[in-house]
Structure 1
Amino acid sequence: MMKVLITGSNGLLGQYLVQRLAGNPDYDVIATGRGPNRLRMKEGYTYESVNLADEAAVKGLVDRHKPDAIVHAAAMTQADDCERNKDSCWMANVTATRSLLQGAEKAGSFFLFLSTDFVFDGLAGPYQEDDPVNPVNYYGASKAAAERIVKQAKIPWAIARTVLVYGVADDPRRSNIISWVKSNLEQKKKIKVVVDQWRTPTLVQDLAEGCRLIIDKKAEGVFHLSGKDMLTPYDMAEKVADYLELDKKLFEKVDASSFRQPAQRPAKTGFVIDKAERELGFEPHSFESGLKIVVEQLTGK
C-alpha cells in the first residue's frame, strides 16, 4: 500500500485526487487543506487542516505521516490575485513548496509538484516539456521559481504542468467555463468571449489520473498533462452552446485586450502531450467528451 499525502485537497484537482485514490485499496490517503474539510466524500482517507505558510507545521505534518509520495496541488492560482498580492502569492507558491520539499527530503518521499502553462510566454505554443520558460505574469513567475526549487531536490521528483483545468467542484462557488456559459445562456444573458487566446483545456478527471500514473510509476522529470484539442475560449463556448442547444447569438467576440486585468495572459499556450502518452499511458478525453461528462455531472443526467 502506498501512503500518499495530497495538499490542496479542497481545490478542484485535490477533490478528484482524493476521490481517485481513496476509493482504491492500494492507497492510504492523507488529505490536507486550509481550514475544515470541504469535500462531500468523507470516507476512506484522513484529513488534516494545515496552514502551508507555517513552516514548522508543514514539516511536522510530513514527519508525522512519512508518506511514500506527496502530491503538492495546493497553490494560489488566480493570476489577477497573484498580481495584486505578490507576497501572498510567493508565500503560497514558492515558500510553501520549499518547506514541503524539506520535509519530503527528510522523509524520503517521492514529490510531485503541480505547475502551469503560465510558465510560458505564449509566443510559441503548443509547448513541449523542455521548451524554455518565460512567464509574463507573477503567477507564472512564482510557479517557475517553485519548479527550479523542485528540480534541485535531493529526492525523486516530478513536475506535472497543466492547462485550463475544468470540471465540477463540490464547492458550489467554483464555476468553470462550461457552467459559466450554460448558466448565462439559459438566463438569456449576453457574454463576451475571447477569440485570441489558445489553450488545450484539461478535464480534471484526466489530470487526476495523470497524477496517479506519475506517482504509481514514480516517473521522474517534467510531464505535460492536458487535453489534446487546441481551442480558444470562444471555440469552447460555442461547443457548449451547440451541445446544450442554446443561443450562440448571445456571444460577443472580443480580444483579450478588451478586459482590463492586472495580470497579462500568454496568448497561445497549450501542450504537446506525446511524452505523457508514451511514458505514462496518459489518455485524455477530447473536449467534446469532457463536456458531456461535465454536463451530466451538472444536470444529474
Structure 2
Amino acid sequence: MVKIMVTGATGLLGRAVVRELQANSNNQIIACGYSRAKAGVHKLDLTQSASVMAFVDTQRPDVIVHCAAERRPDVSEKNPAAALALNAEATRSLASVASQSGAWLLYISTDYVFDGTAPRYAENALTHPVNFYGDSKRQGEVIITGAKQDFAVLRLPILYGEVETVQESAVTVLLNHLLDTTEQNIDDWAVRSPTSTADIAVAIAQMILAKTAGTTLSGYYHFSASNTMSKYQMLLIMGELLGLSTQHLNPVTSPTDSAKRPHDCTLSCEKLASLSIQSKVPFEVGIERALALSPNVMSIFK
C-alpha cells in the first residue's frame, strides 16, 4: 500500500489527480484542501507551518503531490505576499517535513518560470520569469531542488479539465467570450499548450508507479500536450465544438494582459518521454470531454 498525500485536492488539477490515484487499489489517498474542504478531504492550511509539520508527522505519507498553488498571474501581481505564502513558503514547510519523514515530494510548477523567448524549453533550461507568479513558482522550485533529497519538480502549461465553474480554468473562462456576442479583442499573441488535467493525472500516477518501483525520479520534468495555440485559436475550436459563432472575436497580435506574460513557453518533455510517459490527448478531444463532464458549465449553453 502506497500512502499518497495530495495538496490542493479540491482544485482543478488536484481533483483529477485524486480521482486517478484512487483508481489504483494499492494507493491510499490523503486528500488535503482548505477553502473547499468537504467530506473525505482533510482541511489543512498550508501557510501554517506547524500544522503542516504535525499533519505529515501523523499521516506519514510515502509520497506528497503538491498541487496547491496561487496560479493566477494577475492576482499574484496584486498580492505577492499571498502568492509567496502558498507557492514558496508552504513548499518550504512540505520539503522540510518530507525530508525528515522520508516521503518523496513532487512539486507542481509552471511553464511561466521561462521568459518565452527561446522555446522549446528543455528541463535544464535556465529560468527567467517575466511576472511575479512565475517568480513565486521559481522560488518554490529552488526550495525543492535545494532540499538535497530526490524530490522532483513537474512543470505544466495552461490547464483545462472537468470544472465546477468556468472561472476554474484559464481555458474554460474563455467561454465567456462566446456568450457575450459583442465585438471583442482576443489575445492571438501568446502561444500556449492547453493540457488536460486528466492526462496530467495519468502521467503523475505513472511517475509514482515508476518511483515506487525503484526508478530514480528527481530534478525537473515537463509534461505538456503537443498542441500549441493562442487564446483566440482555443476559442475558435471551442466555438466550433459548441456550435457558437466566433465572428465577433477580433484576434490581437500584441500583449493584452495586465500582468506581463511570456510569448511562447512551449516545453520539451524528453525526460518523461524516455520513461514512456507522454501526453496522448489533443485539445479538440480533451476539451470536448472536459466540457461534457462539466454539467454546470454546459447548462449555460442550453
TM-score (norm 1): 0.90
1:100 aligns with 2:94: yes
Partner of 1:129: 123
CA contact (8 A) 1:111 1:157 kept: yes
For residues 111 and 177 of structure 1, do their structure 2 counterparts lie closer, same or farther at Cα, with a shift above 3 Å needed? Answer: closer
**Equivalent residue in structure 2 for 1:205, among 179, 198, 205:** 198
Give the superposition deviation at 1:93: 0.9
For residues 159 and 201 of structure 1, do their structure 2 counterparts lie closer, same or farther at Cα, with a shift above 3 Å needed? Answer: same
Give the superposition deviation at 1:245: 2.6
Give the superposition deviation at 1:102: 0.8
1:238 aligns with 2:232: no
For residues 178 and 157 of structure 1, do their structure 2 counterparts lie closer, same or farther at Cα, with a shift above 3 Å needed? Answer: closer
CA contact (8 A) 2:187 2:253 kept: yes
Give the superposition deviation at 1:232: 1.2
Give the superposition deviation at 1:240: 1.3
Output the amino acid matched with 1:210: A
Distance (whole Å) between structure 2 residues aligned to residue 256 and residue 232 of structure 1: 11
For residues 173 and 268 of structure 1, do their structure 2 counterparts lie closer, same or farther at Cα, with a shift above 3 Å needed? Answer: closer
Distance (whole Å) between structure 2 residues aligned to residue 11 and residue 253 of structure 1: 31
Extract unaligned runs of 5+ from structure 2: 212-216
**CA offsets, 1:223-245, max 9 Å, x none?**
11111111111111111122223
Distance (whole Å) between structure 2 residues aligned to residue 280 and residue 155 of structure 1: 24
CA contact (8 A) 1:184 1:190 kept: no
Partner of 1:279: 275
- Greater mean deviation of Cα atoms: 231-240 or 274-283: 274-283
Partner of 2:113: 119
CA contact (8 A) 1:198 1:230 kept: yes
CA contact (8 A) 1:53 1:92 kept: yes
**CA offsets, 1:18-74, max 9 Å, x none?**
111123211100011114525xxx5xxx52111111110001111001100000111
Root mean square deviation, CA, Å: 2.0
**Equivalent residue in structure 2 for 1:188, among 172, 181, 185:** 181
Output the amino acid matched with 1:192: N
Partner of 1:166: 160
1:264 aligns with 2:260: yes
Give the superposition deviation at 1:87: 1.2
For residues 108 and 204 of structure 1, do their structure 2 counterparts lie closer, same or farther at Cα, with a shift above 3 Å needed? Answer: same
Output the amino acid matched with 2:251: K
For residues 183 and 93 of structure 1, do their structure 2 counterparts lie closer, same or farther at Cα, with a shift above 3 Å needed? Answer: closer
CA contact (8 A) 1:181 1:240 kept: no
Give the superposition deviation at 1:177: 5.4
Give the superposition deviation at 1:281: 2.3
1:52 aligns with 2:50: no
Distance (whole Å) between structure 2 residues aligned to residue 142 and residue 181 of structure 1: 25
SS in structure 2 at match of 1:56: helix
Partner of 1:72: 66
Give the superposition deviation at 1:199: 1.2
TM-score (norm 2): 0.90
Q: Percent of aligned pairs with the same residue?
A: 29
Output the amino acid matched with 1:132: L
Extract unaligned runs of 5+ from structure 1: none
**Equivalent residue in structure 2 for 1:62, among 56, 59, 65:** 56
**Equivalent residue in structure 2 for 1:228, among 219, 226, 229:** 226
Output the amino acid matched with 2:202: E
CA contact (8 A) 1:163 1:200 kept: yes
Distance (whole Å) between structure 2 residues aligned to residue 183 and residue 80 of structure 1: 18
CA contact (8 A) 1:177 1:237 kept: no
SS in structure 2 at match of 1:129: coil
Give the superposition deviation at 1:172: 2.6
